[in-house]
Structure 1
Amino acid sequence: MPMSNSPTTVVTARPVVLPAPGRGEDLQVSVSAPATGGELPVIVFSHGFGWSMDGYAPLADHWAASGFAVVRPTHLDSRTLGIPADDPRTPHIWRLRVDDLERAIDGLDVLEAAVPGLAGRLDRTRIAVAGHSWGAQTASMLLGARVLDSGGVPGEDMSDPRVKAGVLLALTGTGGADLSAFAAEHFPFMNPSFDDMAAPALIVAGDQDRSPLSTRGPDWFTDPYVLSPKDKSLLTLFGAEHSLGGIPGYEIAETTDESPERVALIQRLSTAYLRSVLYPGDTGWQEARSALEDASEPLGKLESK
């Protein structure tokens, strides 16, 4: 997967539709990939609450230009689908989101065939997941995170051995007393255990991300790193709020802390991290780490275990 400093043409096809019996809606997916090159590693990306396959272009476009095929499903909570809050599927959307990512991985043959020029170019041995906010919670399940029931017993293991690495952006922390009353009432699935999240992951947290879902401060978003097993890295971004500088997109209401520099740092570090896991021996991650450490005014700090 050679890297180049010259502009790379990216091709995006949307919507590609995957049949989804029992879901109530077929799964709509966006696929972005470089126009040329083969043996492309795959990133399956889970959007945050209310978004769709059209969001997070700052990340998807960068990853595709860097040699990845990026698959973005539209989950049932997307505003584009308009599903009402009293829909019987609503309490189960967190679980259906995980199914969406699995369905996208299962459907790589269909996606390849549907996107002009993509056939035969995907490397199915190098698959990663990524997500932001609720999407990070969704992605974390494929890496081994579990949901605890009301008695504290871990629920179903939804990890997928095909997934080799993850990038978890603004992933929420522990439940129980750490949840606000609203979150505890409406989001019982927000009671994670990271004990079995064994797959390698880069976790990204903002040190100014204060969530109405938690009684704690920004350190809540470091729980997934602190409480998970080894082979994890944590990037803490200085001054970043929940949008981490604008990863869902620039000039939108959700981006309260717009910083193209911060987004560029996430682009570089996430790309280098995934390459280091998917291509052992790649030196880009260490070089990116060193560049951050050597910066006169660093935008964040990295730690690993």
Structure 2
Amino acid sequence: MITTAVPVVSAKPVVLPAPGRGEDLLVRVSAPADGHRLPIIVFSHGFGWSMAGYDPLVDFWTAHGFAVIQPTHLDSRTLNLPPDDPRTPLIWRHRVEDLKRVLDHLDLAEAAVPGLAGRLDRGRIAAAGHSWGAQTVSMLLGARVLGPDGRPGEDLSDPRVKAGVLLTVPGRGGADLSPFAAEQMPFMNPDFTGMTTPALVVAGDKDQSPLTVRGPDWFTDAYTLSPGPKSLLTLFGAEHTLGGIAGYQVAETTDEHPGRVDLLRRVTTTYLRSVLDGADWPPSPDPLGAVESR
């Protein structure tokens, strides 16, 4: 639950110009009604979702002093992009560009919400994402996609992002992918060796994905294969929606657990405050999960 009730303001859709994308970028902007020098979280949704999802996270973060900006990527079911659309093979790249576009147009995001202008702190920006959104965010932190020749592709990292939160981020590609993933998602072949930005990786120890031939430890690769400083939160008993982060009582939640969601919200908030503001880390021990750092 949200332990601190504060008024929140939110606006959607906020339209950001996106030349070359095929259509403008729609985002949702949410923030506390009061306060100044608000740190910013840019959030990248999982496959098929949109700016309208992830209220259990957004409600908590905004109630605890963050402004949250949520773009709707081209794979969203709300846009219904046909499979044969020429943009489909490069949606992974469009996703990264969407997040950069948000950072490029923070003035427009501020102006869209009554009373928000001048209150965002551009020196304290974090990026967070779930599932495919976590892979998208990882590229802003320095991860790269390996090409067919095994060489890393373009560096799309962004120095404006000071911290990351990667929720169930896909792991290593190659032989670790299932045949379906290898055929349909060749971009799911990350190199984490250049992911130097501080990040918290969150994984469920019961998250068995059809995208890999490995077990739930696949979702910890971003922690084990990247240079520090990194932290890992393992949620006990959690599957891919980590207890229900995508929405309140949504059908895709297979492991609904309010206590697990609450732990994740508290730990992610504490982590971001530790990187952006120098607050204490790690958090207190909890029977629903474990934190390690290096």
TM-score by length of 1: 0.95
Deviation of the 1:5 alpha carbon: 5.4
Name the aligned partner's letter for residue 52 of structure 2. D
2:186 corresponding residue in structure 1: 188
Deviation of the 1:250 alpha carbon: 2.5
Name the aligned partner's letter for residue 161 of structure 2. V
1:168-194 per-residue CA deviation (whole Å, 9 max, x = no partner) reads 000010000000111000101000000
Deviation of the 1:253 alpha carbon: 1.7
Structure 1 stretch 185-194 or stretch 5-14: which is displaced more? 5-14
1:300 corresponding residue in structure 2: 289
Relative distance call for 1:6 and 1:235 in structure 2 (3 A) is: closer
1:122-181 per-residue CA deviation (whole Å, 9 max, x = no partner) reads 000000000000000000000000000011100000000010000000001000000011
2:56 corresponding residue in structure 1: 58
Name the aligned partner's letter for residue 112 of structure 1. E
Relative distance call for 1:97 and 1:9 in structure 2 (3 A) is: same
Structure 1 stretch 231-240 or stretch 250-259: which is displaced more? 250-259
Which of 156, 160, 163 pairs up with 2:161? Answer: 163
2:9 corresponding residue in structure 1: 11
Verify the 8 A CA contact 1:46 1:136 in the aligned structure 2: yes
Name the aligned partner's letter for residue 156 of structure 2. M
Matching of residues 110-125 of structure 1 within 5 Å:
110-125=108-123
* Runs of 4+ in structure 1 over 3 Å off: none
Task: Supply the distance in 1 between the matched residues of 2:82 and 2:252 (Cα, whole angstroms).
Answer: 21
Task: Supply the distance in 1 between the matched residues of 2:146 and 2:252 (Cα, whole angstroms).
Answer: 30
1:42 corresponding residue in structure 2: 40
SS of residue paired to 2:213: coil
TM-score by length of 2: 0.98
Name the aligned partner's letter for residue 303 of structure 1. E
Deviation of the 1:83 alpha carbon: 0.6
Does residue 174 in structure 1 map to residue 172 in structure 2?
A: yes
Identity over aligned pairs, percent: 71
Matching of residues 145-160 of structure 1 within 5 Å:
145-160=143-158
1:75 corresponding residue in structure 2: 73
Does residue 242 in structure 1 map to residue 240 in structure 2?
A: yes
Task: Supply the distance in 1 between the matched residues of 2:37 and 2:50 (Cα, whole angstroms).
Answer: 27
Which of 92, 95, 114 pairs up with 1:94? Answer: 92
Verify the 8 A CA contact 1:250 1:258 in the aligned structure 2: no
1:37-58 per-residue CA deviation (whole Å, 9 max, x = no partner) reads 0000100000000000000011
Instruction: Report the number of matched residues.
Output: 293
Name the aligned partner's letter for residue 299 of structure 1. L
Name the aligned partner's letter for residue 31 of structure 2. A
1:211 corresponding residue in structure 2: 209
Verify the 8 A CA contact 1:141 1:159 in the aligned structure 2: yes
RMSD: 1.0
SS of residue paired to 1:163: coil
Which of 249, 252, 272 pairs up with 2:250? Answer: 252
1:27 corresponding residue in structure 2: 25
1:226 corresponding residue in structure 2: 224
Name the aligned partner's letter for residue 293 of structure 2. S
